Structures are given as C-alpha cells and as structure tokens.
Structure 1
Amino acid sequence: MKNRIYVIAEAGVNHNGSLDMGLELVDIAAEAGADAVKFQTFKTENEISRKAPKAGYQVETTGDQESQFEMVKKLELSEAAHRTLIEQSRKKGIQFLSTPFDLDSLHLLARTFDLPVLKIPSGEITNPLLLLAAARTQKPVILSTGMSTLAEIETALGVLAFGYLAEGKSPGLSAFKDAFCSAAGQRALKSKVTLLHCTTEYPAPFDEVNLRVMATMEAAFGLPVGYSDHTPGIAVPIAAAALGAVMVEKHFTLDRTLPGPDHRASLEPDELRAMVAGIRQVEQALGGRAKIPVPAEEKNAPIARKSLIAAVAISKGESFTERNLTAKRPGTGISPMRYWELLGTTAQQDYQEDEVIG
C-alpha cells in the first residue's frame, strides 16, 4: 500500500519471563493489525554490570530491593522460548522481531533465527561493537536515537556504513567517518537503515517529545525516519504518522498494573488496537501532493458551488447589470468567475427571479 506505515508492537520484556504471556502478546499484536511484534533478546551477564544502578523509572515501577542486574535476569528469554514465539508469530501472520543487547544475542537473532531486520535500541547507539557486528550481517538495521545528538547519530551511521562496506580496513573513528562520507557508504545506509526518533523516558513527557526532530533527522541524513514512542496514550504516535513517520513503534502490555519496569508506560490491548486503527486511517489520509478535486468531491461541486443567478426577473434582450445578476447555489450554471464578463451583455431568453443563468 502506498504510504503504508510499518507498525511495531513492542512487547519488550512485558512477558515478565513467562512464555505463556509472551505468546498472548503475540496474539494481541496480530489481532491489533500491527506489522511486527518485537521482543528483547539479551544475556544479562553480557549486558549489565552487577553493580549497575536502576534507572529512576525502574525504581518507581519495581522498587530498589534488587539491582538492575537481578531485575533484568528474571526477564531473559531462552533460545527455545524464542523459537516458540517465532513459530507463533508465523502462525498468526505477524513478523517477529527482537532487539539484541549483546553480541551473542545479535548472532542468535541474525544467524540462528535469520531475522530479516535488526533493531538497535537507543542505549546502544554509542556501542560500536554491537553496531559493527549488526552491519557485518548485511541485514537492514532500525536504529533508535533516544538520548543522542546529530553528531552521535552520524558517528553511529559511520560505524554501520563501515560494517556494510565489508572492507579490510581497521575500524576506528577515522575509518567510520570515511565510510560515512563515501558514496558507497551512503548508498549502503540509504538501502539498509531506518532511523527512529525517540525520547528515552518511561513514560515520556509530552513537552519533551519534539516530533519535529523527525524532519531534522531526515534532512540531515537523507534516511527514512520513524518514531519510537513512550508517551502515555495514542495521540503522539498517530501524530508522528501524520508528520511522515515511516515506522511507528509502541510498547504494549496485557495489563498496565502488572509488576515490571515497562508495563506502566505501555498500551493495553484495546489501546493498541485503537492506535493501529488510527495510524491506518492516517496513512490513507496522507494521499498525494497534487491539489486537485478527488472523486468523492465531484458529486458535491454542483451543490456546494454557486452559479450566476437572476436576482430579479430578466426579459429577453435586457442587459445584465449589477442589479439583476447575482451568485447563488446551485453550481450547475455559468460560473460566478464570469460575472464581469456578462455585465453589459444581452439576455438571450427570459429569466425568472432565482433562475440559473444558462
């Protein structure tokens, strides 16, 4: 479909470590009409130091009795669980995606499961090891850009370009810049990378979303730009679609009151369905750029527009004047645009008051 917006229903870790909950999330995403359901793939030991503190929103939602490591460890999905979720997604006709947070997880998704695209989260935009490994798979990448500047995005794109070019050079900032600036690197990025604007807070304040940044990023990098949303409700992702987002990602949950770090900033099933429906309406409404009457309007023009009308009775041979000529509905006669053209000319027939001049 022209202007189709790719909608990712972000299950994330809202399965709470339960495969049954994960399967239910797949079903809900499919029923809502999303294009993809996305989870998160990680080995906690590879991703988080045992001494890493929780984020403020994580403390608010899960307390401070356990470390970030302990909290996340309970949310890991096994390889077998991934297989089951992938199969369920296939049965339901929805694309399975997952975000890798470490190299082992990236290789699991890209090589073992051969997923068609890799989603790199905002927190990894300054992790060149993961970015380079993702690009070296030669798979398309969706890159979230929360917490970053344009300069940081450019550097990350340089890493991806370097990896896509698969040249025998040694990696490093200079090599990444050269790859980004090269014609071949730009071609690779344009064919493989989608950027997502994002505000990394859960939930994100409306006044810190800055949806216009999507246009800034598109102008800066010439790449397709979408939006990953963490605001309450569905208004902002639908607005992002209207502003030209090619992709919209949104967290969802079975129940916002469930324990866990992300449930509170997620949509419940009915809200997810409403968001997808709203985005689908927007993508239809976007249409083309030519300002011309559309088929639905054509039947209304004769009713809504006006014609030249006899303001009073006019006799054959009488001159049209400002006194006897006016403009009223319907629009089935001579256009009022010809008003001055008719002034002073002679009526070719009798007209009753309110009769259309033909």
Structure 2
Amino acid sequence: MSTDLSSEMSRVPRSPAPVAIGQVQVGPGRPVYVIGEIGINHNGDIETARQLIDVAAAAGADAVKFQKRTPQICTPAAMRDTPRQTPWGEMSYLEYRHRVEFGMPEYQKLMAHAADLGLHCFASPWDVPSVAFLEEAGVPVHKVASASLTDLQLLAALAETGKPVILSTGMSTLGQIDTAVEILGTDRLILLHATSTYPLPAAEANLRTIATLAERYRVPVGYSGHERGLQISLAAVALGAVAVERHITLDRTMWGSDQAASLEPKGFAALVRDIRILEEALGDGTKRVFPGELAPLSRLRRTDG
C-alpha cells in the first residue's frame, strides 16, 4: 500500500459509538434496529393496537412506537372546534384528538404485551406533560417526531430524562438540527434521516443525507420512511442506516391519515426479512477469497508457470 493511501486511510473518521436502548446496541456494525411505527393507526382501539404489536413481532422487528399527545396542548386553538368526520360520527377536532389517545392503563397493557413478545415499546411525546407520562410508563427510549424538532422546551425536557433519544429530521434545516443536537447532546442520540412527505416520492428521499448527518454529528443515523414499497428503505440500509422506522397498519384502506403510507403485515415482514439479508450481504469490507470461490478458482483461473 502506498504511503499516500495509508495516510489517507488513517484520516478516515471512526464510526460513532453505538447507543444502548435497553440491552440492545444500536449503531454501525450492529443489526439494524427495526421500528414498527403504530402511531395512531390503532384509531384509539386497544385491540387493534395489540394486533399491530403482534404484526411487528411476527415480522421480527425490534420495537413498536406510538404517539402521545396532551390534546388540549397539541390542538391549535383555531382548530379545536372545527368539525371532523370520523368513523364514530362528526365531532370537534379536539374531541377526535381525545378519542385516539390511550391513557396509562392502556399503555401499561400494551407495553407489557410488547415485552412478552420481546419488543421495545415507546412513543413520540408531542408536549412536555407527555414526556412525564411516558417516563412514568417506563419507556426505554424517547422518539422526537420531525414536527417537534424545533420545540426546544420539549427537547430540554427529553434531555433531562437521561434516556436515549431518537430524533427524526424531516422538514428541518441543518441549522435547526444543530440547535436540537446542542440541546439533546450526542452521548445517547440517534438521528433518523426523514423527508416528511406522505407518501414519499423517490425524488424527495435524498438518501445520501444519511452520510451527511453521520459525518456532521458523529452519532448513529437511521432512516424513517413514508414511501410506498420497500426499495427506498432497503437502499437506506445499504447506505449505512443503523435503524429503520416504518408505519405499519392492518389494512391501508382503514380510516386515518397515515394508513395509506403504511406497510401491511406481509409488506412489513418482507422488509425485515430483506433488511436481514442485506446485513449479511454487506459483509465486513475485507477483501478475501471465500470458500465458495475455491472450486471455480481451481477450475477457471489460468496461472503462469
């Protein structure tokens, strides 16, 4: 190897240290951490939520995630009395927001069910009281939705918990991400590259941003996808994503704003299967002759002398 090349390789930055979520290490060189994003696709029905946890477990995912809001805080005043058509009839937007929220008894049941199936269970808090709620529930990690990246009060409350944080970066500039990272710190932070278009067209995926974020912040970087299909998420893994989050649903025709951009059970199972195949195929980067090549080598290669 030439001196110039050796010198160049010595300047290649080391991979960021993995982040522990419970007993699982998330980072480069570790299995991709797959999150089934249930969000509010349960439509406020605990049995539907349980079935979605079952879907994630059957697929071989590592975690499921919900969304937690305090409706009085998260519903803009101008929208609270706005009529909304729902499967339960017409109601105000504020009433609807209450209708799809779970309380502590439901969270305790769902988290216990997920734990029985070997899954982490956590949520995206959308306001400071929801952080306290999830801390009481005992989540192992907090997730920041892209919409909340600029909520500095929320980020400060999350930093105070001392728990690891997964931060989605959709709809954000690098300057806004800089501010969020400064508040959260980098010791227990995982970033997710995301584009908050629903559903996501390929032209807006911009997957090379995964490397941009990893180089800039020196933390593990994953991918949160809102596209239809599997190709973009799989390409994210090939480009180094250490975690993949996808919305899941029992049926994309179900009522709800996130259902159409979600994966049904067979699709989510296929995604996890293909991620595991990709992990194996990527290898360790060391060039060598593999055992399977020995027979073709002796049969096909010409040698001198």
Query: TM-score scaled to structure 2, two decimals?
Result: 0.85
Aligned twin of 1:260: 256
Give per-residue Cα distances to partners, 1:60-95, cap 9 Å, x unaligned. x99xx7665444332111111101100110111111
Equivalent of residue 79 in structure 1, options 89, 104, 107: 104
3-state SS of the aligned residue for 1:72? helix
Aligned twin of 1:24: 51
Equivalent of residue 193 in structure 2, options 197, 217, 220: 197
Aligned twin of 1:118: 142
Q: Are the aligned partners of 2:194 and 2:224 in contact in 1 as well (CA < 8 Å)?
A: yes
Q: Are the aligned partners of 1:39 and 1:98 in contact in 2 as well (CA < 8 Å)?
A: yes
Amino acid at match of 2:301: K
5+ residue gaps, structure 1: 54-58, 162-188, 308-334, 343-358
Aligned twin of 2:215: 219
Aligned twin of 1:179: none
CA RMSD of aligned residues (A): 2.0
Q: Is 2:301 the counterpart of 1:306?
A: yes
Amino acid at match of 2:264: E
3-state SS of the aligned residue for 2:77? coil
Tell me: CA distance 1:52–1:301, structure 2 relative to 1, closer, same or farther (3 Å): farther
Amino acid at match of 1:16: N
Q: Are the aligned partners of 2:60 and 2:272 in contact in 1 as well (CA < 8 Å)?
A: yes
Pairwise CA distance, 1:3: 3.5
Aligned twin of 1:105: 130
Tell me: CA distance 1:97–1:103, structure 2 relative to 1, closer, same or farther (3 Å): same
Give per-residue Cα distances to partners, 1:171-197, cap 9 Å, x unaligned. xxxxxxxxxxxxxxxxxx1x3001001
Q: Are the aligned partners of 1:3 and 1:283 in contact in 2 as well (CA < 8 Å)?
A: no
Aligned twin of 2:10: none
Q: Give me the identity figure in percent.
A: 41
- Mapping 1:211-290, distance limit 5 Å: 211-290=207-286
Equivalent of residue 76 in structure 2, options 45, 49, 54: 49
Larger relative CO (CA 8 A, sep 6+): 1 or 2?
Answer: 2
Aligned twin of 1:14: 41
Q: d(CA) in 2 for partners of 1:98 and 1:246? A: 19
Amino acid at match of 2:188: K
The structure having more radius of gyration, on CA atoms, is 1
Equivalent of residue 181 in structure 2, options 157, 161, 175: 157
Q: Are the aligned partners of 1:241 and 1:282 in contact in 2 as well (CA < 8 Å)?
A: yes
Q: d(CA) in 2 for partners of 1:26 and 1:84? A: 12
Aligned twin of 2:15: none
Amino acid at match of 1:96: C
Q: Is 2:146 the counterpart of 1:146?
A: no
Pairwise CA distance, 1:251: 0.1
Q: d(CA) in 1 for partners of 2:265 and 2:30? A: 25
Pairwise CA distance, 1:301: 1.7
Amino acid at match of 1:24: Q
3-state SS of the aligned residue for 1:11? strand
Q: d(CA) in 1 for partners of 2:108 and 2:288? A: 51
Q: d(CA) in 1 for partners of 2:219 and 2:174? A: 13
Q: Are the aligned partners of 2:120 and 2:140 in contact in 1 as well (CA < 8 Å)?
A: no
5+ residue gaps, structure 2: 1-24
Pairwise CA distance, 1:221: 1.2
Give per-residue Cα distances to partners, 1:240-288, cap 9 Å, x unaligned. 1111000000001000001111111101100000011011111111111
Higher alpha-carbon deviation: 43-52 or 65-74? 65-74
3-state SS of the aligned residue for 1:51? helix
Amino acid at match of 1:85: L
Amino acid at match of 1:75: V
Amino acid at match of 1:159: I
Equivalent of residue 129 in structure 1, options 126, 148, 153: 153
Give per-residue Cα distances to partners, 1:291-310, cap 9 Å, x unaligned. 1112332333213x233xxx
Q: Are the aligned partners of 1:141 and 1:194 in contact in 2 as well (CA < 8 Å)?
A: yes
Q: Is 2:118 the counterpart of 1:93?
A: yes
Give per-residue Cα distances to partners, 1:70-129, cap 9 Å, x unaligned. 44332111111101100110111111121111111111112x122111101101110011
Give the structure with the larger strand fraction.
2
Query: TM-score scaled to structure 1, two decimals?
Result: 0.72
Q: d(CA) in 2 for partners of 1:96 and 1:207? A: 32
Runs of at least 4 residues off by over 3 Å: 65-71
Q: Are the aligned partners of 2:34 and 2:272 in contact in 1 as well (CA < 8 Å)?
A: yes
Q: Are the aligned partners of 2:104 and 2:137 in contact in 1 as well (CA < 8 Å)?
A: no
Q: Are the aligned partners of 1:3 and 1:287 in contact in 2 as well (CA < 8 Å)?
A: no
Q: d(CA) in 2 for partners of 1:229 and 1:50? A: 30
